[in-house]
Structure 1
Amino acid sequence: MFEAFKKYILEKANVTEADLEKIEAVCQYKKLRKRQFLLQEGDVWKYNAFIVKGCLRTYTIDDKGTEHILNFAIENWWTGDRESLQTGNPSMYNIDTLEDAEVILITKANFDQLCSTIPAFNDMVNAILQRSFVASQSRIHTFLSLGAEEKYLKFLEKYPQLATRVPQGMIASYLGITAETLSRVRKQTAKNQRSS
């Protein structure tokens, strides 16, 4: 499992073999079955989690039982609850698997230690955090300013690999629209593509 993580790190950071050994020494490996939880609401999140294999989602459930999906994570992406990790407060989110998954977990203390002792790893993490912040801003803008069809098209453009792996109802939840609206938008989009 570490080989996939090593490949990811080497693509993004100029680390030594000794650095990689330090990183590997603190990795915990977890295999999850489809629909298994990585995190449940009310638990404190204690890790940085790298996805080696599979597709996971982060979501909340409101008082009416409606799911609100915050994000998805697939191979070579990170997942977790940053707020719970930083504050030690119980998480308001659930993270579960949409497919069988393999995840590498690094505790906060070990992760912080890696960042302080391996400058290239720290630079990689900062670059990831900056991209994540930009992606969050873009998501908020899309959510607030675009109509259902535009949201869906932007989702397809940005995450083409998710469109075939994630159930349509979950995509609708992620976009903040109903499953019926998404069905209508998909039909309209297909019709527009056939006629152009």
Structure 2
Amino acid sequence: MTSQEITDTLKALFGHAVEISEPESWQVQLDNVRLLVLLSEDQSWLRSLVSIAPAQEALPYLEQLLEANFDETQETRYALHQNVLWGVFQHSRASLTSEDFKAAIARLLTLQQQGLSASFNRLAETQIRQIVQAAKLQGQSLETTLQTLDRFYQEGVMGEIDQSATQREQILAAWQYQLERLWNEEI
């Protein structure tokens, strides 16, 4: 892709939101998204990136983020740099097509919109599976496990101190849904 093709592709996608800082640098500023497109010093590589979250917020999900890099992020990757979690796409400029560039931008925007929620959900499911496994090893039934969780919330071992009864019921309903969903799976 030439610099002009990059500009044309970005303008076709984002219109007047495209800012060209230098011949090798583009920025797209939308409501919640800032997309950067940079060329390497020798202009042979293109890098597109969006910020996703502060690194401190992402660190608890590092394992899930790396697994996503392996299985799910396709042509994009998660990366940490300067205390920020980024969505990054890098490609040789010589072989990059407009269609591939558009697809990568769409994927970056998806990563940015998801934020850390997908990683949180994977971590939560892993932990719920561990609870199910531990309960089964102790010979507990699903009902006994739910009663234990309810007791933990009532005693303040789990949940917030100033949590209302309605909030506790909503959280316990979510626990029940997840435990019922995973209870009969082979773990």
The structure with the larger Rg is 2
TM-score normalized by structure 1? 0.26
TM-score normalized by structure 2? 0.27
